[in-house]
Each structure stands twice: as C-alpha cells, then as structure tokens.
Amino acid sequence: MIGLLIISHSAAIAQGVKELAGQMAQGKVPIAAAGGTHDGQLGTSVDLINAALETLQGTDGVLALVDMGSAVMSAEISLEMSGLPFLLSGAPLVEGALMAAVEALHPGANLARVATAAMRALESKNIPEHTPALVPAKATVAEPEPATNSAETTLIVHHMHGLHMRPAASFVQQAAKFTSTVRVRNLDRPERPEGNAKAMLDIMKIGVSTNQRLYIRAEGDDAAEAIAALTRLVEGNFGEA
C-alpha cells in the first residue's frame, strides 16, 4: 500500500487535506500530515515531518505533497532520512491528494501510478478560459452498439451532489473490482469526453450533476456483473441516505 504525506505551512491546512483525502479513501489509505512549527506558527518543521513519517513505516512507498516550494527542502530531508521509497510531488496539494488517495486504493497501485494521478489533478477542474453556452438538458448523444461480451445501461443519478467527491470515489472503487473495461458518458453534457470508470479524474471530468443521465458500458468476461453492481450502487444512492 502506498502512503500519502501532506505537508503545509499551516497545521490546519495539513489536517484539513488529510481529512478530506481520508474520506475519499474511506480510511483505507495510510495518510499522515505535518503542518506548521512546534510553537504553532506558520512554517515547516523537519521534526514534525519525521514524526508524521513514522506513522507511514511499513508502507510500500510514500508520495509527499507540499503546499509551497519552500516546504520542499524540509520534506526532502525527512524523506531521505526515513529510509522509505518516496516521490515528492509537484501536484496541487488539495486536488493532488484527493486523486492520489483514490488511485492508491486500486489493486496493484504503485508509487509511480499514484504520483501520475496526483499530477493530473488540475485537469479535473476543466475550467475554460471563457464560459461556454449552456448545453440544453436531455441533449441527444448516440449510444454505441454493445460489443460481444458486453453490457450497458443508462441510469439517472439522483444523488444531491451528482457524481462528485464521495459518490465518485465509491463509483471508481466499485468499477475497479472487475476485470472488464468500463466506460462512462454523461448523456446530458455531450461536450464532455467519454471516461474510464476506474479513473477518478475521468469521472470528475464528465461532470455528472443530479438528475443527469449516466451511460455505462462494460466489455469483458464479467461485464454483466460489473453493470449490475454499478447499477445497484447508483440506484442505492451510493449508500447514502
């Protein structure tokens, strides 16, 4: 299992990002945080980072994310002293930690994969330079023909937050349990690209809001089982009241 180390000049920020990433990973990914100095001031402390790293001993590697460049030196000193395999990420702290936490849940996830997911984090915002015209609801998108050993469905996402944050993380984790390729599309936002259901970034990029239509297609030996499980998850409101 890959562990995450969150380093910020602010103790509150470090703990907040740890909490957010921990919720995304449902407490299944080791995450440590170090922020501020011993006397509660803004800054970084090698001793505090060392203490945080102690909680990550036994992991297969550590991905460290920092808030500002001046934290890099302290992080490097502590990481090199720890004896753990590590990568120091230049990804944005919050988005990078969230994407890394979800990627770390995947079976066989390694340090390089988790680091790559973190670096792609800003793509999830998908903010255009100029706001585009709104796409009318129920825009028509052609649904592809199912292939051999495939299954498909179109579901309405009723969750109050759509397919974002915790629901998205649950969806990705469920899809990752199957060997089949699982692709998704937002039928009400045809300008958004089709995505890989096992990639948190892709799920965020399709931008499914509440009451929008989610098209899911699976191809592979367990395609029907994948579609059935994802259907239960969506129709069960992702296990939330």
- Annotated catalytic residue within 9, 159, 161, 164: 9
Beta partners for residue 88, in sequence order: 64
The C-alpha angle 56, 72, 200, rounded to 5 degrees, equals: 60
Burial of 37 (0-12, 13-18, 19+ CB in 10 A): middle
- Beta strands 150-157 and 31-35 are unpaired
- Catalytic residue flag (residue 158): no
Q: How far is the C-alpha of 218 from the C-alpha of 220, rounded, in Å?
A: 7
Burial of 209 (0-12, 13-18, 19+ CB in 10 A): middle
Q: Find the helix or strand (DSSP H, E) in which 226 lies.
A: helix 223-235
Residues with a catalytic annotation lie at: 9
